[in-house]
Structure 1
Amino acid sequence: MAEIDKIIGRRIEKGRRRKGLLQHELGAVVGRSESWVSQVERGVTALDSVSMAERMARALGLPVGHVLAFDMRYTTSSAPQQTRSPGPVTEGQHGPSSGPSADTESSETVLRRSFTLGSLAGLTAAIAGLSPDARSQIRRPSGGILDQATVNELRSIGASYRRSYKSFPASSLVPVAHDQVQLVVSLRPKDQPAYLRNSLLAHLAEMAALASALQSLDLGDPGQADAYMDLGYQVAKEIESSELAALILAGRAFRASFRGDSVDGLDYALAAVDTAGRGASRRMRAWTNAVASEMYSGTGDMHGFRTCLEQARILLSGPMDDERWGGIAWFDLSKADAYEGSDLVRLGCYAEALPALDKALELLSPEMLRHRGTACISRAEAHAGAGNVEAACEDGHAALLLVAQVQHRETLRRVTALHRTLRAHKTAGTRSLGEHLIDTRTLLKTSGSAV
């Protein structure tokens, strides 16, 4: 009996009792028998799949990460360890290549060279989320061929993790994404038929992109972020996926922008737009245009910002092909409004930015915690620029509350910079914001998130 199954069982039992449900009542909600619920609560039977964990979490009113005991599975870092040579792209290099041999080596070779496969516990955790049929396929003798249903289940799990970026803490999602990368490698994609191999590698690239975003924006580890980006881009090129290549290039645009290189950021963003235009989903094309609008605003180009954002809105207004969406979280018109407001703040148009950010915060889904946090700090910056000190502090507080939930380091950095510009006013609001900043930094340090 796995110890993690006992922990999950105890959490489910506690949640059920708190809800005042009997075992047969909970079973009816999730579509299982009273006996099955009893076995799960005793740790005799594991949850069937991530989708079952999500149904259980909804029934009990608990975060799915709590139900799956992510906090207990990942007590130590399982992030990839980089070898010394050849290393990932450094901040001074241009382009997404992993090195001189990137075009000639397979993605599996690059992966094995750049990443330590890690402990058996990581693979076990990844396999535990699969259905019994898929688990039996995964544990087949070496050299066996997977079936389509198992690969489809992996892709579905990956989509669920990518959606979870909206609201899950970074320290929980990074090891999960890395474990999925490990799992794909263990399945030896090169031994699978081409149609399964490409699907497995697409799953790997999506998980690498997710881990890269989390390491860069949330946990503040650019070295690990670059390593994941290199891997994802190499795989995207190998399977000729414009969707995933555009996603990685846009991620590189953010990385360049955050280190203060707005010109490189714009170059990467325009490359992402061009790549997405060669066959990516409509939503990916819209998002890469929004990223380009942000990079244009960073260079002070009002025309470029307006043109790209308008193109993003045009794309979002047409028929969508979301079954092909390989991006992280989501992008819709409410996010386009948030991009507009944030871009206008960068351009110094504070009064014009406020209505766009008001609209974004009104329309953004409550579960999009990271996106709402970004919009809150953007509106705080707009208020500060317009001279509304107390309103800026209020939005700064709102952003910090969201940072505490999802560990978004970039938003924390921006609130810190905001407070430094406002502290000269020496109001009760600015003092309160400073105290909240200290509390949030302490909270993130105790939770293991870099600050």
Structure 2
Amino acid sequence: MAGIDSTIGGRIEKGRRRKGWHQRDLAERIGRSESWVSQVERGVIALDSVGLAERIAQVLGLAVDYVLAFDVRYAGAAVIAQSSRSHLLSPPSPRATAPDPESSEIVRRRTFTLGSLAGLTGAVAGLSPDAQAQVSRPAGGAVDQATVDELRSIGASYRRSYKSFPASTLVPVAHGQLQLVTSLKPKTQPARLRNSLLAHMVEMASLAAVLLSLDLGDQEQADAYMDLGFRIAKEIGSAELSALILAGRAFGTSYGGDPEGGLDYALAAVEAAKRGASVRMRAWTNAVASEMYSSTGDEYGFRSSMEASRTLLSGSMDDERWGGIAWFDLSKADAYEGSDLARLGRFDEALPSLDQALVRLSPEMLRHRCTAFISRAEAHAGAGHVEQACEDGHAALDLVEQVQHRGTLRRVTDLHRTLRDNKTAGTRSLSEHLIDTRTLLKAIGSAA
């Protein structure tokens, strides 16, 4: 870890010097002491908070994954993930028999193969020295509670990172966590530790699945992770995680060409959430249902579900139980509502909601802003505002290049096809930007 800490510290120091700042200047902007900045820059102490890394990256104008040295920490895995269909990334077949997490050797060899185990190596390197000693011990024996708590905390950071980190960085990270937990033989652990480890597996499987489906366009592998996650969620009786997986299934099914099937999954997620999920999860599953209703043209269903979501968000929260990816709040509800209205053809009504969403969404929520921009571009196009649609299309593509969200790239492509007959300077510029973005993502995808 010392090498990683020194690399991170050096990058922060270099970014600070480029700004012409003293250590006290950076310290004031991030709410830490000058001494703390000095120790981090020298690699004496670790930068172990994703939230703080995001703040440092923002004030220095750097990418978060660069500040955290993910290119070094997960060097082997990052290359693997740049092609989502690489033979090295091999989750279970969607039709395979349910794997037994207790049979770690079988699972590691057949279910979670990352070639050289780069993902597992990176996952262990990300732990504290005490936790590394725990997970690196000879097979057998109980893992201590502190190590399990650290794993869950790391997992929560990775789920929050979905809002801004590129897919090629996060897929191998999630995969490495799955390997690591599998190697700990969860079913041999005491009941409380066992269920916590298995819940961590579900959260990491869902993160990998969402990235593979919505960002990297690999629905088959995404389904495999979803299958694994849903089996484990049911085994441990988690309403929170069952609802998470079912809602994730809704997106893949609907945008895979079966909107009615997507609605079925969304409504199943709503029902699962009612059986004991957190308030925020219940709110989010209703928002997912609103999107699925709008995809089938059911305006009444959309409005009812969106109202239920907003009502839940207005009440008291129990966020220590939140198991979802990234976050869901009123800014996201605005984005869902505006996108749903545009999907229903109510373009003028959609624009104020999307305007409000883009004001409310924080700058680091790159993925959420990306989808909000393309939704507003579609609403502008539907309302006949060609130049505004092109402007928002450019904004969406700028973010696609950062987070590799290929779903948005497809939507911008469709948008351009509806606008290109106008032959304006804006549509020509959008065409050029599309070509540049496709070329960039193709280069990323072929680098493995």
Please confirm whether the aligned pair reaches a TM-score higher than 0.5, indicating the same fold: yes
- Pick aligned residue for 1:297 from 294, 298, 302: 294
Task: State which drifts further: 133-142 or 49-58.
Answer: 49-58
3-state SS of 2:409 partner:
helix
Distance 2:221 2:206 in 1: 11
Q: TM-score, normalised by structure 2?
A: 0.88
Contact 1:30/1:55 (CA < 8 Å) preserved in 2?
Answer: no
Q: 1:240: Cα distance to partner?
A: 0.9
3-state SS of 2:445 partner:
coil
Distance 1:386 1:222 in 2: 33
What corresponds to 2:434 in structure 1?
437
- Pick aligned residue for 1:106 from 85, 100, 109: 100
What corresponds to 1:362 in structure 2?
359
Alignment CA distance shift 1:291-1:19 (3 Å): same
- Pick aligned residue for 1:188 from 156, 166, 185: 185
Distance 1:248 1:145 in 2: 29
Q: 1:354: Cα distance to partner?
A: 1.0
Distance 1:132 1:139 in 2: 10
Q: How many residues are paired up?
A: 431
Distance 2:107 2:313 in 1: 35
Distance 2:39 2:46 in 1: 13
Distance 1:49 1:144 in 2: 28
What corresponds to 2:311 in structure 1?
314
Distance 2:37 2:351 in 1: 52
3-state SS of 1:447 partner:
helix
What corresponds to 2:147 in structure 1?
150
Alignment CA distance shift 1:22-1:297 (3 Å): closer
Q: Aligned partner of 1:115: which letter?
A: F
Q: Aligned partner of 2:400: which letter?
A: V
3-state SS of 1:342 partner:
helix
- Deviation string 1:89-146 (CA, Å, 9 cap, x unpaired) is 5xxxxxxxxx5x54xx634458444322542432221122222222222222321322
Segments of 5+ residues of structure 1 without an aligned counterpart are 90-98
Matching of residue 423 in structure 1 with residue 420 in structure 2: yes
Alignment CA distance shift 1:372-1:51 (3 Å): closer
Matching of residue 406 in structure 1 with residue 403 in structure 2: yes
Mapping of residues 271-290 of structure 1, within 5 Å: 271-290=268-287
Alignment CA distance shift 1:409-1:108 (3 Å): farther
Q: 1:12: Cα distance to partner?
A: 4.3
Contact 2:163/2:368 (CA < 8 Å) preserved in 1?
Answer: yes
Distance 1:172 1:370 in 2: 14
Alignment CA distance shift 1:417-1:34 (3 Å): closer
Q: 1:228: Cα distance to partner?
A: 1.0
- Pick aligned residue for 1:136 from 126, 133, 137: 133
Distance 1:258 1:75 in 2: 27
Mapping of residues 368-407 of structure 1, within 5 Å: 368-407=365-404
What corresponds to 1:96 in structure 2?
none
Q: Aligned partner of 1:272: which letter?
A: A
What corresponds to 1:351 in structure 2?
348
Distance 2:345 2:50 in 1: 45
Contact 2:171/2:211 (CA < 8 Å) preserved in 1?
Answer: yes
What corresponds to 1:254 in structure 2?
251
Distance 2:325 2:446 in 1: 20
Q: TM-score, normalised by structure 1?
A: 0.87
Alignment CA distance shift 1:56-1:143 (3 Å): farther
Matching of residue 67 in structure 1 with residue 64 in structure 2: no
Distance 1:30 1:179 in 2: 35
Task: State which drifts further: 8-17 or 154-163.
Answer: 8-17
Alignment CA distance shift 1:14-1:288 (3 Å): same
Matching of residue 211 in structure 1 with residue 208 in structure 2: yes
What corresponds to 1:87 in structure 2?
93
Contact 1:26/1:59 (CA < 8 Å) preserved in 2?
Answer: no
- Deviation string 1:41-94 (CA, Å, 9 cap, x unpaired) is xxxx784745598389459834441133222413421576447xx8315xxxxx
Q: 1:3: Cα distance to partner?
A: 6.8
Matching of residue 324 in structure 1 with residue 330 in structure 2: no
Contact 1:107/1:234 (CA < 8 Å) preserved in 2?
Answer: no
- Deviation string 1:381-426 (CA, Å, 9 cap, x unpaired) is 1111111111111111111111111111111100000000000111
Matching of residue 199 in structure 1 with residue 205 in structure 2: no
Alignment CA distance shift 1:285-1:30 (3 Å): farther
Distance 1:351 1:442 in 2: 34
What corresponds to 1:93 in structure 2?
none
Q: Aligned partner of 1:367: which letter?
A: E
What corresponds to 2:53 in structure 1?
54
Distance 1:399 1:133 in 2: 43
Q: 1:352: Cα distance to partner?
A: 1.1
Distance 2:93 2:256 in 1: 20
Distance 1:131 1:30 in 2: 24
Alignment CA distance shift 1:30-1:316 (3 Å): farther
Q: 1:35: Cα distance to partner?
A: 6.9
Q: Aligned partner of 2:139: which letter?
A: S
Distance 1:385 1:148 in 2: 55
Q: Aligned partner of 1:335: which letter?
A: K
Q: Aligned partner of 2:314: which letter?
A: S
Alignment CA distance shift 1:69-1:58 (3 Å): closer
Q: Aligned partner of 1:150: which letter?
A: T
- Deviation string 1:187-242 (CA, Å, 9 cap, x unpaired) is 11112111001111111110110010001111111121111111111111111111
Alignment CA distance shift 1:309-1:47 (3 Å): same
Alignment CA distance shift 1:308-1:19 (3 Å): same
Segments of 5+ residues of structure 2 without an aligned counterpart are none
Alignment CA distance shift 1:401-1:449 (3 Å): farther
Alignment CA distance shift 1:111-1:264 (3 Å): farther
Root mean square deviation, CA, Å: 2.8
